[in-house]
Amino acid sequence: MPPRSDIDFMQRALELAGEAEARGEVPVGAALVRDGTIIGEGYNRPIGAHDPTAHAEMEALRAAGRAQAGYRLTDTTLYVTLEPCLMCAAAIVHARVRRVVFGAWDPKAGAAGSTIDAFKLPSMNHRVDVFGGVLEKECGARLTRFFAVKRGT
């Protein structure tokens, strides 16, 4: 079996975004991978969890931390359908994630280059390789459809 690709893992993140959408949450999904295996995954659930920090990335980091019995998630790649916000970017750095791959850019709150690039702030003590635009159209379309329905447009 060939190794799984960024596209394969982003497709899993899109499936997780569908879980969020089915629960009335903004459809964002995330999967954290080490050595070709998903070690943590999550989807947006701040409404259902009554927790403003329950973003998909945070849920995936928490799940992986529990599964690995530690908060340092070195040598991992985080796949997320939407550019991380500032809160999530900081958590990714603190967890020592090696790489972030995201789908859609977030021009309102994205912290990987859209509004700020938190990953390049000189005060950060860990560097993360960031790559955006993987399955960008699919990730963006899911969000656009969700908000169109919410707004009745």
Task: Please tell me the predicted confidence (pLDDT) of residue 107.
Answer: 96
Closest to 35 measured CA to CA, from 71, 70, 69, 64: 64
Residue 56 CB coordination number (10 Å)? 32
Residue 38: partners with Cβ closer than 8 Å, 6 or more residues away? 9, 12, 31, 32
Task: Please tell me the predicted confidence (pLDDT) of residue 89.
Answer: 98
Mean pLDDT by 10-residue block, N- to C-terminus, for the chain (153 residues)?
Answer: 81 98 98 97 98 98 97 98 98 98 97 96 93 97 94 81
Active-site residue numbers?
A: 57
